[in-house]
Amino acid sequence: MLYPRLLADIGGTNARFALETGVRQFAAVSVLACADYPHLLDAIQYYLASDAAQKVIKAGGNRVNAAAIAIANPIDGDDVRMTNHHWSFSISAVRQQLDMATLLVINDFTALAMSLPYLDNSQRRQIGQGVEIPGRTMGLIGPGTGLGVSGIIPTGKTWAALASEGGHVSFAPCSHDEVKLLQALWQKFDHVSAERLLSGKGLEMICQAISGLTLDAAEITRRALHGNCAASRQTVAHFCAILGSVAGNVALTLGATGGMYIGGGIVPRLGRLFAESAFRSRFEGKGRLSAMLAQIPTYLITEEYPAFIGVSAMLAAHLEQT
């Protein structure tokens, strides 16, 4: 099928769009605030009508007839209702309203997982030791508006990405301080998931639980980086340590000897605080299996729009099969 193809990465806060003009060649990248549009369709139509998108479409000489959307939500059937935003829609109805032959909608972390085999060293940064085994299973975790978890498994010459809601597994404390955090959160929630702590709201909950301060995630990060707020520094330290433990759990569960990757919007903003944190020691700290975890490398994804790479690969595979 001809280019250009519409690609989108929809989170709870932002909707990112691009037009693919060739294999993994992206143009007219635009980020729209989800809150500014009453419906997904409104955001897509606004993007396609933009000057940047229209310039690419006219230059290619073809109308956009295929699209793929990675969205922060489980995908089960035609109807989609976002967990962390109010958008809901029918996939078939949106396809018809856009007058496209193909509209593929997939979980955002499934798409991000599909990008992993294509990332090079300029698009990722290793945290700690470990050496990946090429062609083996890779794991993925990413704190943002929520907590995404996925992985990618080799299937002969191709890869199979896992659609997972692993961010909602039960939080398991690994220290006395974390037991206190869990007890504080039990006052509000019957079930305390990993996502309750490893997300933007999670930073806020940790901060309030340990200090009584009510700060938003951006302010906590700013204060922690500036170094003028002990509570914020302690909050980030807890966050990174817990992320290490959960990432280690995912790596063990999947047998991710091909590497464990960190995506999402929060960790890249932490800068040196993450690099200097207990993340890696907690990742490896699995008792009798610590030696196994020490051999698995952990990578921070630094590519600005990695989901486009994965959703592009999934759309290409889908079009080849139809």
Specify the pLDDT at position 13.
Answer: 85
Specify the pLDDT at position 1.
Answer: 64
Amino acid identity of residue 211, one-letter, is S
Specify the pLDDT at position 115.
Answer: 96
Q: Is the model more confident about 164 or about 142?
A: 142
Going by C-alpha positions, the residue among 273, 112, 113, 251 that lies closest to residue 203 is 273
d(CA 172, CA 159): 31
Spell out the domains of the chain, with CATH numbers in brackets.
Answer: 5-108 (3.30.420.40), 124-301 (3.40.367.20)
pLDDT digits (tens, 9 = 90+) for 80-105: 999 878 999 999 999 999 999 999 99
Residue 107's pLDDT band, with cuts at 50, 70 and 90, is confident
Q: Is the model more confident about 264 or about 7?
A: 7
Query: Mean pLDDT across the chain, nearest whole number?
Result: 95
Q: What would the two tokens of residue 25 be?
A: 């060649």
Specify the pLDDT at position 84.
Answer: 76
pTM for the whole thing? Answer: 0.88
pLDDT digits (tens, 9 = 90+) for 18-43: 999 999 999 999 999 999 999 999 99
In the block, tokens 């500014």 appear at 36
pLDDT digits (tens, 9 = 90+) for 178-220: 999 999 999 999 999 999 999 999 999 999 999 999 999 999 9
Specify the pLDDT at position 147.
Answer: 92
d(CA 287, CA 32): 45
